[in-house]
């Protein structure tokens, strides 16, 4: 087997493992909001995979993860708009983290960009699709607009998710940085 096809096979195998790990970690919820959205580290394996392999493979892994999220955790999708927005699009955009894989700190930049992209999708879907479910009060504040409610609701778990991912990335980066950055793959590409 030549080096190029070996790398493609390795990317697919690692992608399957990282997506499975992300799905499994997603079941370990630290906190769950009543209408969906939870605090987990499920995005972390996707971000690590994106930092390691780049945009194309990262997008593929993110899309597969989004389908698994919908099929296995889509209890809150009450219509096609929510299925597409809150699951397929929201989890697929995590793959934009792969755009930064050539940067030494691409894992951190990608984690922030991917998390913000996912938040923006949830924010728009929350303010449009879920607007009719806006309570009169949330976090002790009177809700007057679905845009503000969506920012609070989705920001409450997405910000914590992002910060948790960044904290674990910081812990893993020193001992595993060369693997996260894909430096072991560079040696194989050179052969």
d(Cα 57, Cα 61) in Å, to the nearest integer? 6
- Output the pLDDT for position 185: 84
Provide the pLDDT for residue 64. 98
Q: What is the pLDDT along the chain (191 residues), one digit of tens a residue?
A: 577 888 999 999 999 999 999 999 999 999 888 777 899 999 999 999 999 999 999 999 999 999 999 998 866 667 888 889 999 999 999 999 999 999 999 999 999 999 999 999 999 999 999 888 888 898 889 999 999 999 999 999 999 999 999 999 999 999 999 999 998 887 666 65
Q: Are 180 and 48 in contact (CB under 8 A)?
A: yes
Residue 142's DSSP bridge partners are: 137
Q: What is the pLDDT of residue 4?
A: 82
Helices (H), the chain: 3-26, 43-53, 55-73, 80-82, 90-92, 106-128, 146-180, 183-190
Show the CA angle centred on residue 162, arms to residues 157 and 142, nearest 5°: 30
d(CA 43, CA 164): 10
Question: Which pLDDT score, from 0 to 100, does residue 74 have?
Answer: 67
């Amino acid at each position: 087997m030549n080096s190029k096809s070996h790398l493609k096979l390795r990317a697919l195998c690692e992608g399957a493992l990282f997506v499975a790990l992300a799905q499994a970690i997603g079941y370990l919820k630290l906190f769950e909001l009543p209408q969906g959205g939870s605090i987990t580290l499920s995005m972390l394996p996707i971000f690590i995979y994106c930092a390691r392999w780049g945009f194309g493979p990262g997008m593929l892994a993110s899309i597969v993860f989004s389908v698994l999220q919908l099929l296995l955790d889509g209890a809150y999708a009450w219509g096609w708009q929510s299925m597409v927005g809150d699951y397929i699009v929201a989890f697929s955009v995590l793959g934009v983290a792969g755009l930064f894989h050539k940067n030494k700190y691409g894992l951190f930049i990608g984690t922030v960009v991917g998390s913000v992209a996912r938040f923006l999708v949830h924010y728009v879907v929350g303010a449009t699709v879920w607007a009719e479910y806006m309570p009169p009060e949330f976090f002790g504040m009177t809700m007057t607009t679905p845009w503000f409610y969506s920012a609070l609701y989705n920001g409450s778990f997405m910000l914590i998710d992002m910060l948790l991912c960044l904290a674990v990335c910081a812990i893993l980066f020193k001992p595993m940085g060369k693997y996260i950055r894909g430096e072991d793959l560079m040696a194989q590409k050179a052969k």
